[in-house]
Chain A
Amino acid sequence: MKKQLTGLFLILVMAISACKKDSQPEIDTEYPEIDITGTNAFPKQCATIKRGETFIFSVILQDNAELGSISIDIHHNFDQHTHSTEVKSCDLDPIKIPENPFLLIQSYDIPENLKVFEIEQEVSVPVGVDLGDYHFMIRLTDKEGWQTIKGLSIKITD
């Protein structure tokens, strides 16, 4: 009686712990990439942008499965609150109080079913904005919701 019960319990325990699925579904665990190394890529770390002019924001976006969406954010760094995500540091102007800093928040669509996409978007910098150090943030997602961030230091000059 005692032995039978023990055996039964052991089988139960093993049956439950053996409920492991044989085939794991394939899941994507790779982050998308923002490539700023190309010759056409702009801006790059420590780049300079002219006030009152337009520039072409251009980077290559890649993912192993499918790209999601991209958003950029240009904000001042006059108080030097953030640093970039890059290896190289840039020369910063002295800390100052913003008066009319340039602010641009923009998201762009990426066509569906793409693994590689070269984005080229015209961005214009208004005439009256403050000169100085800015951050250029790029946020890229893939279809699965993995997000890669790049924070570049740039300067707006005359």
Chain B
Amino acid sequence: MGQSSKPSEITAGGNDRPLHDTIKSYPLINELQEVTITRSIVELRKKTESMNIETVSSTFIRRNLGGSLMKSLERFPGIKTIGIGSGQSKPLIRGLGFNRVVVIDNGVKHEGQQWGADHGLEIDQFAADEIELIKGAASFIYGSGAIGGIIDVKPPHIPAPQTLGGSIDLIGKTNNNLYGTSVNLFGRKQHLFFDARLTYQSYGDYRVPTDRVYVYNYAVDLYKNYLRNTAGHESGLHFNAGYIDDHFSNIFYISNTRMKSGFFANAHGLEPRNINAELHDVSPRDILMPSQEVNHFKIINRSVYQLGVHQYEAELSYQNNFRQEFSQYINHGYMPPVYPDTMRIPINLEREFDKQVYSLNLRDQMVLGKHRLTVGLNGEYQQNDINGWTFLIPAFKQTTGGIFIYDKFQLNDRMLLHGAIRYDYARIRMYKYTDWFNSEINEGGNMISQNLVRASDLNRSFHSLVWSAGLNYNLGKIAFKANVGKSFRVPIAKELGANGVNYHYFSYERGDSALSPEQSYQADLSLGWNEQNWSVQVSPFYNYFPNYIYLNPTADHDYYYGAGNQVFQYAQSQIMRYGGEIQLKWKFLKNLSTELLGEYLYSEQLSGDKKGYTLPFSPPVTGLLNFTWSPEINSLLKNNYLSLDYRVAAAQNNIVPPEKKTPGYQIVNVQAGTEFNLYGQQIMVSLQAQNLLNTRYMNHTSFYRLIELPEAGRSIILALKIPFLIGSPTMNINNNN
């Protein structure tokens, strides 16, 4: 069997992409062996990284499949999502999200419009083979923004030599009548391989356990419990191909993800909307306005070259994130009552963002005695164009570059020391934007009508020096790790240059062009104790920001630029945060095990206008109690499981304007599954009941919480994976069975 992993190569990971990716055989070919090897790699990664790392397999994703990748990962303590509706969500790691979490896809930073709470993450969860979650700061490797943590979507495994095969995933979901499929085809000669995937998912409006919701005091009746216009569909196209041998590999990863989804029609943001209910209720699958459409195209070329003690790695990439938001034209503020027919912007195009991103990563990992040294360089260029009849952020161009050096020193058998230092330079150039309509402004007592300038040309550059130090101490069953470090984030265009009205939120957002780069100091600890039948892991952290950038809702209304709306001012304040996660596992019988997961987070603003308040989107204390029964039924059904998750979330009463206190809740999820052999192929079936008791609850970090919309009701999810092997050396198959 082509399983050629050598221990030395497995550990060759260093700080990021381990070489084992390129050597491991395809999981379908040898599932059992793969699982064992993956586990040992995961354990090794945990023991040799001073940061808090969790590895997620595609099996986990399949068993816990949610409406989006992040929803599927939400079971991990410390990981939550900020989302809207059933298909759009973005990561929230230990309470930090948006531009403070970096998503890495095939080695490259994923860049979209991360600042928007109603924007999802443009990643296809079926294409994710393995994901690494890093909780805590990691700016020293990933640069600006990696303050809260990293979601690292690893490249798919490379197929074993001389194989041709694939798989078909099928998924169905009852709550929003989702159906979807993902078809994969891969093949490899000796050195050349390809891996192609096509994913399509379509879902209808999702259902909530109530037939009436209140937008303020106005009662909105829901037709058959459907949240009007929350339907959507998405597609993903992936093609990876390249060359691989023992010392060199060069692989192209090309993908295009497209999503379209509607927003709840009875409110746009916080603004109550009158709608033609009959029109909306004809079909729960149609997508009317308001809606959003996003297309993300990505091409990455990745090379790895081993020479002596060196391993050289390079990633070169281009991304295009094209987002459009549609809404009927409504003359907010001073906009003309009738949309002028001379306008070149389409009447329904409320906002558009078109971002082009070019990036380059270079790394050299070298083994020098007991030192494993990595030096690296990252460069990125972004261009963001805007369109639409409302203005929120200016167009900009941004160039960033960073160099780092990271040393991992094996002091003795038990102790590993880590040290890193990084320097970054960033330059952002923003472009002037003038309203297309006149506003009434008061100049020296006279009312005059003029087009307001919403953003001025602006040039800013930033420098930053960050560092990190850590240690691992492994003694038998005990694994201890500690890490301290400084991270940073360059202010984004919205924070520097916003001067627009977000009419649907009744907010006038005012940027501050003088903001300095946000800095964060964080200390992380982790203590793990692994016995044969039980394990414990406790991971507390402490985090301090001298200048956290925060959108502060003030007491003022602005008559001129704000069209009478409340002023939300970007400001910087001192922040203290601490918290942690706990994981307990106990296998009390041969086939029965239990798990307890918990997380706690406290944030407080230590200075500024909101001194004493928390930060927005602070997740409440949550706990998860799981029981899993893994019966051995017979030789035909393998990997059977029946698992029950009891999730408890405490009330979140620690809030900051414009949030609302969210009551606690308890929900029950059930997962079950099996694998059986059909014509020599291992078919995997997984069944889930999410929110089994159809509990009505609100999620504090959900965007719809502000207008009091409950989360989705009961949903039964059936997922099927049918792998197939078209051609392979007979040896492989014989080995397998």
Contacts and interface: CB of A to CB of B under 8 A. Distances in A.
A149 interface: yes
Nearest to B333: A105
Interface stretch (B95-103, B457-465, B549-557): B549-557
A99 B337 CA distance: 8
B658 A147 contact: yes
Contacts, number: 144
A141 B217 contact: no
A83 B559 contact: no
Given A69-B555, A73-B564, A75-B331, A25 B612 contact: yes
B525 A13 contact: yes
A105 B578 contact: no
Interface residues of B, number: 57
B613 A107 contact: no
Contacts of B331: 75
A147 B527 CA distance: 44
A105 B334 contact: yes
Nearest to B272: A83
B639 interface: no
Contact of B525 (A16, A26, A106): A16
Contacts of B559: 71, 105-107
Interface in B546-601: 552-559, 563-566, 578, 580
B553 A147 contact: yes
Given A5-B475, A10-B527, A27 B557 contact: no
A16 B526 CA distance: 11
B401 to A, nearest CB: 35
B636 interface: no
A35 to B, nearest CB: 13
B150 to A, nearest CB: 22
Interface residues of A, number: 52
A83 B333 CA distance: 17
B237 interface: no
Contacts of B653: 29
A37 to B, nearest CB: 13
Interface in A1-39: 2, 5-6, 9-10, 12-13, 16-17, 19-20, 25-27, 29
A72 B564 contact: yes
A120 interface: no
Contact of A139 (B473, B565, B610): B565
Interface in A67-105: 68-73, 75-77, 79-87, 97-99, 101, 103, 105
A56 B578 CA distance: 52
Interface string B631-663: 000000000000000000000010101100100
15 contacts: A12-B525, A13-B525, A13-B538, A13-B540, A16-B578, A17-B540, A71-B557, A71-B565, A75-B331, A85-B218, A105-B564, A107-B557, A107-B564, A141-B554, A145-B610
Interface of B: 215-219, 270-274, 328, 330-334, 337-338, 440, 473, 475-476, 478, 480, 506, 523, 525, 527, 538, 540, 542, 552-559, 563-566, 578, 580, 602, 604, 609-613, 653, 655, 657-658, 661
Closest 4 CB pairs of A and B: A68-B555, A85-B216, A145-B553, A71-B557
Interface of A: 2, 5-6, 9-10, 12-13, 16-17, 19-20, 25-27, 29, 68-73, 75-77, 79-87, 97-99, 101, 103, 105-107, 139, 141-147, 149-151
